[in-house]
Amino acid sequence: MNKPLSINTPRLHQHIQALAQIGKLGETGVCRLALSKEDREGVDLVRSWMEEAGMTTRIDAFANLIGVWKGRNPELPVLMLGSHVDSQPYGGRFDGAIGVLGAIEAVQTMAEQGIVPERDVEVVAFCDEEGCRFNKGLFGVRGMTGKLEPDELERTDKNGVTRRQALLEFGVDPAEQAGYAFQAGRVGTFLELHIEQGPVLEAMDLPIGIVSGISGPLWLTVEMTGFAGHAGSVPMGMRRDALVGAAKIIVALNELASREPGAPTVGTVGSLQVFPDSRNIIPEKVAFTVDLRDIDLSRRQVLEQELFAALERVADEHGLAYTVREDTNSEPRYCADWIKRTMREEAEGMGIAPPPELMSGPFHDSLAMSYVCDYGMIFVRCLAGISHNPKEFSSPEDIALGTELLYRTARRIALQE
């Protein structure tokens, strides 16, 4: 039988609903693109809740919102909790948001119970986890951990706005990034609560799960170039149609990712740009994204090699040139065994069914944090596994259970000397 929860479930639900009104899309969706005015409005609201919970707050040069709850010994490595509040352009209310709001609730519950942590506890709403606006995600967490690439601030969105300009419009000065260096060992543990974004927990009829690891994502941007011509007069055998070439690569990626039945490999082309984009002109240039993920790095690398071989073959067949830009390349990262064990023990104390261990196909801020500290994640069941969609839904009851497990795990770690 489930034991009574320590967290304030109505307050948590109210915060989720209030944040969902910012950038509201239709009845249930949200659009809070990174560094947009909606994103800033959401960050400001979340900041007010951090301060109500007793944290001191700041926004750093990477536009990360950071709330600090002071512990007895500031020399001990920090316990960090968090996620993100930016969204996809056609997103849902829960992706990222419950990880930030659940973390605030965990800290506020500890404070209300009179608990004084041994170490500082930080709650972070990381900037631009999604990566949809500038086609490269995890910006804030990579900035915080010193992993940004040289051209990050010059990347542009679809309207030609650079990330540098967007940061300035958001209200932070990117020039301050130049003097920043991540202090190794400052953060000891990172915990993240997130909706599953998959159907496994629902199929098992279980509210929460413990994450075992995150698949390694490979993001590419491919540009194929042919030659434009009149759609009515150039014979089929004489065409250099870039869109036909791109279509063959898209199909090849789908076949490669589907080849091994039961494997967790996934491959997606989610964005396509055609030039000159006219119905009666043969496409001269096509740019498209590739998203290839697998928990098995060696298998993903084999598929990557085969994809490049397909690119070469198709380009030769259709007289095309091509370029490939690597946007993200990460190996799979596994959660710390001691954190998973702590979560299992705390779940038992809640009187719930033992949470299963699940792999995460999507990447999260935890992926970047895994390179600087031990990390653990809690998944919350979501309806039909739907995410990055206004129909995304997790019940208040399931979110409350996930937040309670986050609170109990965080409390235990925060009190360790």
Give the model's pLDDT for residue 33. 98
Integer Cα distance of 49 and 63 in angstroms = 17
Integer Cα distance of 309 and 303 in angstroms = 10
Give the model's pLDDT for residue 216. 83
List where CATH 3.30.70.360 sits in the chain. 216-329
Residue stretches of the annotated binding site for Zn(2+) = 84, 95, 130, 194, 388
**Which three-class secondary structure state does DSSP give residue 158?**
coil
Integer Cα distance of 351 and 44 in angstroms = 37
User: Which neighbouring-strand residues pair with 355?
Assistant: none
DSSP state of 195: E
Give the model's pLDDT for residue 414. 98
**Contact assessment for residue 192 and residue 366, using Cβ atoms and an 8 Å cutoff:** yes
**Which three-class secondary structure state does DSSP give residue 264?**
coil
Of 146, 142, 166, 143, nearest in space to 154 by CA: 166
Fold (CATH) for 216-329: Alpha-Beta Plaits (3.30.70)
- 10 Å Cβ neighbour count for 145? 20
Integer Cα distance of 40 and 172 in angstroms = 11
Of 322, 327, 297, nearest in space to 311 by CA: 322
List where CATH 3.40.630.10 sits in the chain. 9-215+332-414
User: What contacts 70, CB < 8 A, 6 or more positions away?
Assistant: 56, 120
pLDDT one digit per residue (tens) for the chain, 417 residues: 678 999 999 999 999 999 999 999 999 999 999 999 999 999 999 999 999 999 999 999 999 999 999 999 999 999 999 999 999 999 999 999 999 999 999 999 999 999 999 999 999 999 999 999 998 999 999 999 999 999 999 999 999 999 999 999 999 999 999 989 999 999 999 999 999 999 999 999 999 999 999 988 899 999 999 999 999 999 999 999 999 999 999 999 999 999 999 888 999 999 999 999 999 999 999 999 999 999 899 999 999 999 999 999 999 999 999 999 998 898 899 999 999 999 999 999 999 999 999 999 888 999 999 999 999 999 999 999 999 999 999 999 999 999 999 999 999 999 998
For the whole model, what pTM was predicted? 0.85
**Contact assessment for residue 15 and residue 101, using Cβ atoms and an 8 Å cutoff:** yes
CA distance readout (Å), 292 to 105, 301, 370: 35, 10, 20
Helix (H), strand (E) at residue 403 = helix 396-414
Show the tokens assigned to 76.
């001990």
Show the tokens assigned to 53.
């919970």
Question: Options 3.40.630.10, 1.10.150.20, 3.20.20.120, 3.40.50.2300; which CATH number does 9-215+332-414 get?
Answer: 3.40.630.10
CA distance readout (Å), 329 to 156, 291, 301, 322: 20, 10, 11, 20
Integer Cα distance of 163 and 153 in angstroms = 5
Q: Beta strand pairing status for 78-84 and 121-126?
A: parallel
Integer Cα distance of 61 and 54 in angstroms = 23
User: What contacts 26, CB < 8 A, 6 or more positions away?
Assistant: 390
